[in-house]
Amino acid sequence: MLALTIIAGTAGCAKRDTQVRYPTPPYHPWRITAIDPTNHRGTYLANGFMGMRIGREGFGCHKGEPQTCLLVGAYGDEQLVQAPRWSYAAFSTGRAWFPSDPSALPAPPPMPQEAFSRPVNQEDTGPRLDNYRQVLDMLSGTVITHYRWTERRRALTFDVTAFASRAGFRNLCVLQWRITPSYTGQLACVLPLGGSPLNGYATTSASQNGDLQLVSAVPSHGRQLAVAALTQIDGSWSPAAPPRRPVRGEALYAVTVRVTKGQPVTITRWVMASIQGAAGLYPMPATSLLAALRAARQRGFEAALRDHAAAMRTLWNSDIVIDGSPRDQQAVRASLFYLLQSMAPAGPQSPLGGDSVAPMGLSSQAWGGHIFWDADMWMLPVADLLHPDLATGIVAYRFGTLKAARENAAREGMAGASYPTESAGTGRELAPDKFPKERHNTGDVAFAQWRHYLATGDRSFLANRAFPILSATADYWVSRVTYNAARDRYEVHDVVPPDETAGEVNNDVYTNAVARENLRAAIAAARILDRPANPKWRAVADRIYIPFDPALHRYVEHDGFSPGRRKLKQADAQLLIFPLRVPMSAKVAANTLDYYASITSPHGPAMTSSIQAVAACKLGRRQQAYSFFRNCYEPFARPYFSYFSEKPTTDNCCFLTGCAGVVTAVLYGFAGLDFGEHGLTAHPLLPPSWSGLQIRGIHNRGRLYDLTVKADGTFTLKERAEGPAINRAGGPPAARQNGRLQ
């Protein structure tokens, strides 16, 4: 029998026995513990390529409902399709199924006892869960679950381990159930692969020893998808009789295991997937997938978990350490953990060059799994500082869809390239109704490409990938603007701003400002590369209208702006302070921040408070910045695992854009990190309740740095290896010198 192992906040491995010991909740820096199976929203695990929702049961089921499995870039008809379901399972003592309502499952296989089926309902005197503990270990990237399920005097004690491996090519998921019965007899097990609501998946091989493989073509751009699953059982077992009520489209692996009271039986499910040309692709044909999976199984569960844990520890070489607030520490680390789950480097074989990150990553099919500006303007800034290798998928996706962006512009009657509000496998516009008019997305894409160059200093990327985007999008703005001769300025008419509740407006301040940044970046890139620049780029950049109220000393959201009783959906004018970094006086920044913060809806998406936190830090407002920061996550985190919801009033999880905002508030706000053509700088400003802050493993232009900030404001920004340290005294932010390293 395989012994389970767990990495629990240290570099070593510890044996896990039946009586699992768990940390005391709620604010351990690496582990989050759930102790109540009823007040529970679940979590998810992924590795940038494969993702699976994990429910209270510890695998692909939550309160009896099967959970989704997703693969990056698996778009069918421009919608992210659910992968064949590999993480679900059901077990029967012969008297009831656990964990699902039997109406959705086959009846228990014939047993000596009379078959009896009923739903699991914790409110009645029948089936129940007790002795419940579930731990998300962020350091090792595992979910470990322990509980006892009892039904009509028969009980099963479960210890379940789940992980999506970050080792190798990141196309392996493993689930292991260690089940200890309170009786001697038989245990029925059903592990499906596929199933409703899926269509188009065909079983190409299925054997009685648990080897299953499904292959399908993803229709939107012909990428072949393959999934293989192996099941390993350590006890005496035999194939079960065919289920009496099979689920349509389900490839079922059903067995009956002979069990002995008090003696655990271990069932391990091994899964691999492959998508032709996807990021993280294991370079093999679908016919070789089972062979590779058998090789992984031959190495064993402990070896797979050990390799995965080592890869996770490598990821955590870039980390944020907060002293003085365990609550904030856990929230920031959980946000970074979820963000990393769905990020992968660019795949050299991908038709698009890379796969970007949807707002929900690999946790949900919300919004069809489409790509928004969330990836470019919210997630990329975090990756650029901490994991530039994972950032490459985001920027490569935009280069891979440049042709589609040119076609979008042509359909608008414009020159250059126009990036869509929503896109998927082809890069064409998929947004409904008025939302294709959110033309700020074109500037967002260009701005992100330029920032990625500034972060990496990669001239090859600038020349071959970024500049084609920068020049094409700059040409778009030259054709998109309207010249106002009476006022000698260029304007942008008929757009939907980030504050979408405003509708269609003229001269949205953020759209115009990001267009200007797009034009200026194209000019700067042409200078660096010694390439010709369209003279119209500068003419438009110098005269594009940025709405501003000189009497009130603040930026105006758009022409005719008058919110009245309407609350703003999310940040718009405030985005000029960050991430655009538009130069402005402290008075203008303060007035812009304070006014729009006062009229922004508290029920909007988690895309505003992080911007406000960074802006308050730039103004030296410690307490206000900290209040905004707490509002970044407190209304959105769902029990138990800080599972991030899009809005305070919903449970739309896991919203990675909000997770990125939490981390951004620390990196660019309290740490005060920033970078440009001259390298990395820091202007830290700690909240009153923090006694220290460390940012470990900051990447900039091929160098690696660590930032240490003390409560008195002094800080050290040090290059690793032989790099020198720069120490600067604290003081008012405006007077503090940069801790710059070049």
Helices (H) and strands (E) in the chain, counts: 16, 36
Q: From the CA atom positions of the chain, what is the Rg in Å?
A: 27
Cis peptide before 197 (omega within 30 of 0): yes
| Beta bridge partners of residue 145, listed in sequence order | 134, 160
Query: Cα torsion at 87, 212, 16, 126 (round to 10°)?
Result: 50
* Helix or strand (DSSP H, E) at 302: helix 301-315
Q: What is the DSSP letter of 39?
A: S
User: Are the C-beta atoms of 708 and 686 separated by less than 8 Å?
Assistant: no
User: Are the C-beta atoms of 249 and 306 separated by less than 8 Å?
Assistant: no
183 CA to centre of own chain? 43
Amino acid at the residue 44: Y
77 CA to centre of own chain? 23
* Helix or strand (DSSP H, E) at 151: strand 142-151
Proportion of the chain in helix, strand, coil states, percent, rounded to 5? 30, 25, 45
Measured CA distances, 635 to 330, 335, 447, 631, 658 (Å):
15, 14, 30, 6, 11
Q: Which of 57, 557, 646, 719 is catalytic?
A: 646
**Pairwise CA distance, residues 386 & 709, whole Å:** 17
**Pairwise CA distance, residues 126 & 120, whole Å:** 8
User: Are the C-beta atoms of 550 and 535 separated by less than 8 Å?
Assistant: no
User: Are the C-beta atoms of 473 and 443 separated by less than 8 Å?
Assistant: yes
Concerning whether 646 is annotated as a catalytic residue, the answer is yes
Write out the two tokens for 110: 């014939």
Q: Which of 500, 517, 677, 719 is catalytic?
A: 500
User: Are the C-beta atoms of 266 and 177 separated by less than 8 Å?
Assistant: yes
**Pairwise CA distance, residues 630 & 622, whole Å:** 12
Angle ∠(633,637,641) on CA atoms, nearest 5: 125
Q: Is 153 exposed, middle or buried (0-12, 13-18, 19+ CB in 10 A)?
A: exposed
For residue 579, which phi and psi values (nearest 5 degrees)?
-90, -5
Amino acid at the residue 154: R
Residue linked to tokens 């390293």: 741
Residues 6+ apart with CB under 8 A from 75: 81, 218, 220, 221, 369, 424, 425
Task: Tell whether the torsion through CA atoms of 558, 563, 566 and 567 is positive or negative.
Answer: positive
* Helix or strand (DSSP H, E) at 670: none
Query: Cα torsion at 178, 183, 188, 190 (round to 10°)?
Result: -30
User: Are the C-beta atoms of 175 and 162 separated by less than 8 Å?
Assistant: yes
User: Are the C-beta atoms of 425 and 73 separated by less than 8 Å?
Assistant: yes
Residue linked to tokens 């940040």: 571
Angle ∠(625,626,629) on CA atoms, nearest 5: 90
Concerning whether 677 is annotated as a catalytic residue, the answer is no
Catalytic (active-site) positions: 500, 646
